[in-house]
């Protein structure tokens, strides 16, 4: 399966198990695939991750193209942006992909999210569009 996004091994196995699943996945927009991957990878417990992969399979087979109720942007980032008007102004002008780049960059660390959020606000307030 050729994909520009790095599909986690456990999800890749589920998708490869069925030509129909693989075709549905390939038909999704890159942003939709990215949302599913981010949602799965944001699980903190192995059981939650496994359940999310099963839910992904179910959603795709039923025609749904996005994970439900998944906040792509951490709520703490929204709160921090409210305190830095220049950063908030740049944030509002970012494309969905640029916003997801910041969200993924913040989520990539487990212990220092607050530091990453503060740095994201600083970068945005200076006009940076990517971390």
Domain boundary among 61, 83, 105: 61
Residue 67: alpha-carbon gap to chain centroid: 10
- Say what the pTM is: 0.57
Pair 57, 79 in one domain: no
**How many domains is the chain partitioned into structurally?**
2
Residue 131 inside a domain? The answer is no
Q: Identify whether the C-beta of residue 103 lies closer than 8 Å to the C-beta of residue 37.
A: no
User: Please, is 21 exposed, middle or buried when counting C-beta atoms within 10 Å of its C-beta (0-12, 13-18, 19+)?
Assistant: middle
Of the given ranges (75-84, 92-101, 109-118), which has the lowest mean pLDDT? 109-118
pLDDT in tens, 1-18: 444 578 999 999 999 999
The whole-number pLDDT of residue 122 equals 92
Burial (CB count within 10 angstroms: exposed 0-12, middle 13-18, buried 19+), residue 106 = buried
What range does the domain containing 37 cover?
9-61
Residue 100 lies in a domain: yes
Residue 50 resides in a domain: yes
pLDDT digits (tens, 9 = 90+) for 28-73: 988 889 889 988 988 889 999 999 999 999 999 999 888 876 556 6
The DSSP call for residue 108 is T
């Amino acid at each position: 399966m050729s994909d520009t996004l790095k599909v986690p091994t456990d999800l890749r196995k589920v998708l490869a198990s069925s030509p129909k699943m693989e075709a549905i996945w390939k038909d999704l927009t890159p942003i939709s695939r990215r949302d599913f991957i981010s949602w799965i990878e944001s699980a903190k417990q192995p059981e939650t991750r496994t359940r999310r992969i099963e839910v992904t399979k179910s959603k795709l087979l039923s025609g749904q193209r996005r994970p439900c109720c998944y906040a792509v942007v951490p709520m703490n980032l929204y709160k921090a942006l409210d305190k830095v008007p220049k950063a908030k102004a740049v944030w509002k002008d970012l494309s969905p992909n640029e916003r997801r780049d910041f969200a993924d960059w913040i989520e990539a660390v487990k212990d220092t999210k607050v530091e990453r959020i503060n740095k994201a606000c600083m970068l945005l307030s200076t006009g940076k569009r990517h971390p």
